[in-house]
Structure 1
Amino acid sequence: MVKFVEGVNPDDPGVARINYAIGFEHTPEFEAHLERLQARKTAEEARLAARKDVPARRKPPGNNDTLVSWSDEEVVFAQDQNRDVELILSRLRVYPTGIRFDLIAREQDEGKATFIGERINLTHRIRRPFKHRIYLGIVLPDGKIVTNKKCTPPQAPEDDDLTTPWLYGGKSYSRQSETGATYFLSPRPEDSSELVFTIAYPEIGIDRASSIALDCTRFTRSDT
């Protein structure tokens, strides 16, 4: 006979898994156990959905006085195709709490009749008229990877988590021949760290991932 014990995590090592598809009897105790599991899952989903914001340290500071270093160098991602549009990493700002940067798409033919922002989405959200977005991933020195697929508050680390890396999706803009989106990586990696930024965007012809490696120690110090 199987006894259900309240509070036991069914995924813990040593906890029995029952294949009830082959003759297991659904007892009232078992049904109550399933209901409790579903209730906990529903409560957790509701809690995450209710998160509309993240702590200030997970967002780019608004005061430039807190800058540690900065760079306005524009680094172009190499592309095998779609050479009429440049994808650029620029406007990097290093703060005590993290690193802010922009992804930029710039039209090579400024005579295009339409706004580039009507064709290319550099933000972390899929929103009208887009059915797609750029993929952005950052490889940290310890091998961890953050991406722009998990940029919303419900996907952020818990408020008291000071160490888990996360990417915040900020503002965006669009002009005739240029569009851009701001991101903020927190917490800040060590100053000596090399960060690898990788993008892919098959919908606009960037099928092969393209990467840029940056050494943040080469940035201009804020006190110079």
Structure 2
Amino acid sequence: MVKFVEGIDRDDPRVRRINYAIGGENNPELYAHIARLEARKAAEEARLAARKDVPARRKPPGDDDTLVASSDEEFVFAQDQTRDVELMLGRLRIYRTGIRFDLIAREQDEGRGTFIGERINLTHRFRRPPKHRIYLGIVLPDGKIATNKKCTPPQAPEDDDPATPWLYGGKSYSRQSETSATYFLSPRPEGSSEVVFTISYPEIGIDRASSITLDFTRFTRSGA
């Protein structure tokens, strides 16, 4: 049986085949090659860990100069059972570079003694204890997916890749009966802009995913 080390093109004429049946596992060339692969992997991990920021086009603009459209309409996620908390999308802001929106949780009973933000985490960061956060997934018209599982700079697409969809995790706030987290989706979907937003949150009883489909052409002018 021939084993190929990951990353090697078996058809490359420079590839050496090592017979494991005749002492191949002790071949120093194999160990040297594996060491090189591990060093390359460690260097790549260090490079990604050192990324502390992303290009400006991956963040919501700081002013409204490039604002294409906005809406303060709120879109409530359907739930499979009655709860005292509603989850929704709101505060849509559409820019040429992407779409900013808030993920909002609002309590119907304002008489509870604790802040809602102490129980529900809508950000992309895990909160302890216990370790939990909402799951947010966005399916784009071309089938590509962006999620809040990969919102940090080391997880972002390379700086020279403007096309891969990505979510930037922004600010959050919490009041007695409402908590919210801001996200920015880039790049802005082109063409037929039906975008599907899906959430799940087993820690608060939302085991079955709930989705909202928005057609962003309804918010934007033709040619904007």
Q: TM-score, normalised by structure 2?
A: 0.89
Q: Is the 8 A contact 1:82 1:205 kept in 2?
A: no
User: Which residue of structure 1 aligns with residue 104 of structure 2?
Assistant: 104
SS at match of 2:25: coil
Query: Pairwise mapping of residues 26-175 of structure 1 onto structure 2 (< 5 A)?
Result: 26-81=26-81, 83-175=83-175
**CA separation in 2, counterparts of 1:133 and 1:51?**
23
**CA separation in 2, counterparts of 1:72 and 1:99?**
13
* Mean Cα deviation higher: 212-221 or 191-200: 212-221
Identity of aligned residues (%): 82
**CA separation in 1, counterparts of 2:128 and 2:163?**
34
Q: Is the 8 A contact 1:81 1:205 kept in 2?
A: no
Query: Residue 36 of structure 1: CA displacement?
Result: 0.4
**CA separation in 2, counterparts of 1:184 and 1:127?**
21
Query: Residue 79 of structure 1: CA displacement?
Result: 0.2
User: Which residue of structure 2 aligns with residue 181 of structure 1?
Assistant: 181
**CA separation in 1, counterparts of 2:173 and 2:115?**
11
User: Which residue of structure 2 aligns with residue 194 of structure 1?
Assistant: 194
Q: Is the 8 A contact 1:82 1:206 kept in 2?
A: no
**CA separation in 1, counterparts of 2:107 and 2:152?**
29
Aligned-CA RMSD value: 2.4
Return closer, same or farther for 1:105/1:13 CA change in 2, 3 Å cut-off: farther
Instruction: Please say if 1:10 is aligned against 2:13.
Output: no
Give the aligned residue type for 1:188: R
Query: Residue 65 of structure 1: CA displacement?
Result: 2.1
Query: Residue 26 of structure 1: CA displacement?
Result: 1.9
Query: Residue 162 of structure 1: CA displacement?
Result: 1.0
**CA separation in 2, counterparts of 1:152 and 1:81?**
33
Q: Is the 8 A contact 1:98 1:187 kept in 2?
A: yes
* Mean Cα deviation higher: 115-124 or 161-170: 161-170
Count how many residue pairs are aligned between Structure 1 and Structure 2.
216
Query: Residue 129 of structure 1: CA displacement?
Result: 4.0
**CA separation in 1, counterparts of 2:89 and 2:18?**
51
**CA separation in 1, counterparts of 2:78 and 2:19?**
51
Q: Is the 8 A contact 1:104 1:181 kept in 2?
A: yes
Q: Is the 8 A contact 2:151 2:167 kept in 1?
A: yes
Which structure 1 residue ranges, 5 or more long, are not aligned?
Answer: none
**CA separation in 1, counterparts of 2:49 and 2:31?**
27
Give the aligned residue type for 1:197: F
Query: Residue 179 of structure 1: CA displacement?
Result: 0.1
Return closer, same or farther for 1:31/1:60 CA change in 2, 3 Å cut-off: same
SS at match of 1:25: helix
Which structure 2 residue ranges, 5 or more long, are not aligned?
Answer: none
SS at match of 1:30: helix
**CA separation in 2, counterparts of 1:83 and 1:209?**
15
Q: 1:107-164: CA deviations, max 9, x gaps?
A: 0100110000000000001033451000000000001111000111000001111111
Return closer, same or farther for 1:91/1:11 CA change in 2, 3 Å cut-off: farther
